[in-house]
């Protein structure tokens, strides 16, 4: 008998149940995610679809125009469709990662008050006013003696 056969049925169920309880691969999901963003996930799906169609049609057209046999036209078109799908997915996810970071920065800037030292246009008018002139007379004004 093997060790697995010798185990009690309750122990086998416990080990499987412990594995089922965990979802995902242990990564934290509290940060921003392209998949969790409603507009991003929709746009990525659209880009994947259009990329696959564009790759398929382009490869089929170019293969047909060069006189490739019909079976090879179909095979090349399918492979190019898969490549177009993956390429569009990679590009769309990269673009949306940058857009999500920009949205987070903009939200953070709106939530915090601006530092007047960094943005002179938002500083108080008294801080930007020129200093008052001194009581001493200016040099070079007056009649020559």
- Summarised one tens digit per residue, pLDDT across range 38-69 is 899 999 999 999 999 999 999 999 999 999 99
Q: Is residue 126 domain-resident? A: no
Q: Residue 45 belongs to what domain range?
A: 33-111
Quick check: 130 pLDDT over 70?
no
Q: Is residue 95 part of a domain?
A: yes
Q: Which DSSP category does 104 fall into?
A: H
- CA distance to 43, 52, 53, 60, 145, per residue, from 46 (Å): 5, 10, 11, 21, 86
Query: Is residue 100 domain-resident?
Result: yes
Q: In 10 A of CB 51, how many CB atoms?
A: 22
pLDDT classification of 110: cutoffs 50, 70, 90: confident
CA 38 to chain centroid: 13
pLDDT computed for residue 135 by the predictor: 62
pLDDT at 68: 94
**Distance of alpha carbon 63 from alpha carbon 76, whole angstroms:** 8
| Cα–Cα distance for residue pair 75/143, rounded to 1 Å | 98
Q: Does 6 fall in a domain?
A: no
Statement: residue 5 has pLDDT above 90: no
For residue 127, tell me if it sits in a domain: no
* Count of domains observed in the chain: 1
pLDDT tops 90 at residue 122: no
Give the chain's mean pLDDT.
79
Whole-angstrom Cα distance, residue 92 to residue 102?
Answer: 15
Rounded to 5°, angle at Cα 10 from 5 and 13: 90
Whether 57 is covered by a domain: the verdict is yes
The predicted model scores a pTM of 0.57
Is 59 among the domain residues? yes
Query: Got the DSSP string for 79-99?
Result: HHHHHHHHHHHHHHHHHHHHH
CA distance 81 to 61: 12
Residue 52's closest CA among 8, 7, 91, 82? 82
């Amino acid at each position: 008998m093997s060790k697995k056969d010798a185990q009690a049925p309750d122990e086998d169920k416990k080990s499987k149940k412990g594995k089922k309880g965990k979802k995902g691969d242990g990564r934290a999901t509290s940060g921003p995610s392209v998949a969790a963003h409603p507009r991003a996930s929709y746009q990525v799906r659209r880009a994947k679809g259009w990329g696959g169609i564009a790759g398929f049609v382009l490869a089929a057209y170019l293969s047909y125009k060069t006189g490739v046999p019909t079976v090879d036209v179909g095979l090349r078109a399918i492979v190019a469709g898969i490549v177009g799908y993956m390429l569009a997915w990679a590009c769309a996810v990269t673009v949306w990662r940058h857009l999500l970071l920009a949205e987070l920065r903009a939200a953070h800037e709106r939530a915090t008050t601006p530092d007047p030292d960094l943005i002179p246009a938002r500083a108080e008018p008294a801080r930007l006013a020129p200093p008052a002139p001194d009581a001493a007379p200016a040099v070079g004004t007056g009649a020559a003696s």
